[in-house]
């Protein structure tokens, strides 16, 4: 079975919410819709205090190339445009809406019928995805339409759908494939048309055998779509790792996937693209997983953007006793949350409760040079060395040892027998070196 060729780890999967039907979370009383994205420029508000908005109405206009439109996920009255703490712990601009009923724009097709035919041209598809504010739902929230417009001279040969869900605990993509496989495949054909490629590969890790079987059956009479089972290995969902696993090509340092002829979209993004293109539904909700070893009802929930995480968690049975840490996202790359008064954003893939004893890091010991961090690094770096350089402010050396290639997957810190905070130091060094590089190229 295929997998990527360098490094990797296999943490306990703990997919407690696997197979749980997607439940629709209750409408919030107030929606706080973030205008900022994890990556790129915040959108600009196009509504003001007192405006009445409908579900699906544009409230934030994309601001620049790497930015995305934001739509109201609820209907009601804009109470203010203010800052709100988000998962990263920063105050970011957001639109506060007092919810009143559930009044959708008439243009949105809310029927359950699956719409198969798409007569739109390549340009029309891309424009629709762009105006619907679709971003990558795997976590990085990179605007989806940007990936569909390769830089001049580059041509995509294959579309890769990231259905790996390699983070432990999370199951939202898995369940989405089980319940909306057909729509996802229509989304794939739409993307193939937008990219004008003849081939698409859906990469799924082999711990989701039912989803692989289901998609294979559905894809059997579609031309050019392959479903590939992958050996379970983290971080296979990393874009570069997934491309290596599926087509045995490695994206060179500092380059984007289209350099090796690939464009990658997440499976949940593909579903959102189906909804945007076929149903005129902008990005106003997503499926997320609420889970943990002691979670009362581990499950998958369809949640409107801007809903406070606290209300979804309450619906799922509340925070279990003995929780020491709440992670927004997966346990390897997610963020630990200060509290649950954080609005649901496009990139929120899950809430994971970790027990007290799992939450506290063990005391740091000397590096015993066991080479385990070097062995697991999926980018072929030397984490022990980068940490030592970062501690000593050796920025040119860090750059030469390719710190900018680090994808921050955390495999090094996970595996270190001396509990060394490798990624903490590498991340710090990476941001410092990144700043140095930017100021050098700006000159």
CB of 50 to another protein, least distance (A): 36
- Answer for which of 381, 386, 398, 403 binds another protein (CB under 8 A) is 381
Stretch that binds another protein, among 59-67, 158-166, 251-259, 430-438 (CB under 8 A): 251-259
Which of the ranges 98-106, 154-162, 204-212, 245-253 carries the binding residues for another protein, by CB under 8 A?
Answer: 245-253
Give the binding range for another protein (CB under 8 A) out of 98-106, 145-153, 156-164, 412-420. 412-420
Task: Confirm or reject binding of residue 403 to another protein (CB under 8 A).
Answer: no
Residue 388: both structure tokens together: 């030592």
Residue with tokens 């762009």: 130
Does 368 contact another protein by CB under 8 A?
Answer: yes
**Is residue 297 at the binding interface for another protein, with CB under 8 A as the rule?**
no
The DSSP line for 191-253 is HHHHHT-SEEEEEEETT-HHHHHHHHHHHTTSTTEEEEEE---BTTTSHHHHHHHHH---PPT
**Binding segment for another protein among 170-178, 265-273, 304-312, 354-362 (CB under 8 A)?**
354-362
Token pair of 336 as six digits:
């630990």
Backbone angles phi, psi at 109, to 5 degrees: -85, 105
Pick from 380, 396, 434, 435 the residue near another protein by CB under 8 A: 380
Name the region of 175 (left: φ>0; alpha: ψ -120 to 50; beta: rest). Answer: alpha
Pick out residues in 115-174 that bind another protein (CB under 8 A): 168
Q: Which is nearer to another protein, 187 or 328 (CB)?
A: 328
The correct pick among 188, 194, 313, 377 for binding another protein (CB under 8 A) is 377
11 binds another protein (CB under 8 A): yes
112 binds another protein (CB under 8 A): no
Which of 86, 205, 239, 244 lies at the binding interface for another protein (CB under 8 A)?
244
Spatial distance between the Cα atoms of 295 and 274, rounded to a whole number of angstroms: 32
Distance CA 397, CA 324 (A): 38
Residues 6 or more apart in contact with residue 437 via CB below 8 angstroms = 399, 404
Alpha helix stretches (DSSP H) within 280-325: 309-315
* CB-nearer residue toward another protein: 64 or 434: 434
Judged by CB under 8 A, the residue of 177, 384, 399, 430 near another protein is 384
Identify residues 322-351 at the interface with another protein (CB under 8 A).
322-327, 331-339
Long-range contacts of 325-329 (CB under 8 A, 24+ apart): 325/353, 325/354, 325/358, 325/359, 326/351, 326/352, 326/353, 326/354, 327/351, 327/352, 327/353, 327/354, 328/87, 329/87, 329/139, 329/167, 329/170
Our CB check for another protein shows the closer of 64 and 380 to be: 380
Among 27, 81, 149, 374, which residue interacts with another protein (rule: CB under 8 A)?
A: 374
């Amino acid at each position: 079975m295929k997998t990527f060729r360098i490094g990797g780890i296999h943490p306990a999967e703990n997919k407690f919410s696997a197979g749980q039907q997607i439940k629709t979370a209750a409408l919030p009383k107030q929606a706080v819709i973030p205008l900022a994205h994890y990556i790129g420029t915040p959108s600009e508000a196009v509504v003001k205090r007192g405006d009445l908005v409908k579900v699906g109405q544009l409230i934030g206009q994309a601001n620049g190339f790497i930015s995305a439109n934001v739509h109201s996920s609820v209907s009601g009255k804009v109470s203010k445009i203010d800052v709100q703490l988000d998962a990263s712990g920063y105050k970011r601009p957001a639109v506060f809406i007092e919810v009143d009923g559930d009044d959708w724009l008439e243009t949105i097709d809310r029927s359950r019928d699956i719409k198969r035919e798409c007569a739109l041209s390549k340009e029309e598809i891309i424009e629709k995805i762009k105006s619907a504010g679709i971003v990558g739902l795997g976590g990085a929230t990179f605007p989806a339409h940007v990936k569909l417009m390769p830089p001049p001279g580059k041509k995509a040969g294959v579309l890769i759908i990231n259905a790996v869900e390699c983070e432990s605990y999370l199951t939202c993509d898995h369940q989405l494939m089980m319940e909306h496989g057909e729509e996802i495949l229509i989304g794939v054909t739409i993307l193939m048309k937008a990219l004008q490629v003849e081939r698409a590969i859906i990469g799924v890790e082999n711990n989701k055998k039912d989803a692989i079987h289901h998609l294979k059956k559905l894809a059997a009479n579609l031309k050019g779509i392959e479903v590939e089972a992958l050996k379970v290995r983290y971080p296979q969902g990393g874009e570069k790792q997934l491309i290596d696993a599926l087509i045995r090509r490695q994206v060179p340092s500092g380059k984007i996937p289209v350099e090796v002829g690939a464009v990658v979209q997440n499976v949940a993004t593909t579903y959102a693209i189906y909804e945007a293109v076929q149903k005129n539904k902008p990005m106003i909700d997503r499926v997320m997983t609420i889970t943990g070893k002691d979670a009362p009802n581990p499950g998958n929930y369809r949640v409107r953007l801007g809903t406070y995480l606290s209300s979804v968690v309450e619906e799922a049975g509340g925070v279990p006793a003995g929780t020491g840490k709440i992670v927004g996202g997966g346990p390897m790359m997610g963020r630990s949350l200060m509290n649950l008064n954080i609005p649901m954003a496009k990139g929120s893939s899950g809430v994971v409760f970790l027990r007290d004893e799992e939450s506290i890091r063990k005391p740091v010991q000397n590096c015993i040079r066991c080479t385990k961090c070097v062995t697991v690094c999926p980018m072929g770096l030397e984490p022990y060395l980068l940490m030592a350089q970062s501690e000593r402010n050796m920025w040119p050396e860090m750059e030469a040892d390719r710190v900018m290639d680090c994808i921050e997957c955390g495999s090094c810190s996970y595996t270190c027998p001396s509990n060394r905070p490798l990624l903490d130091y590498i991340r710090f060094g990476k941001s410092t070196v990144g700043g140095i590089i930017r100021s050098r190229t700006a000159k």
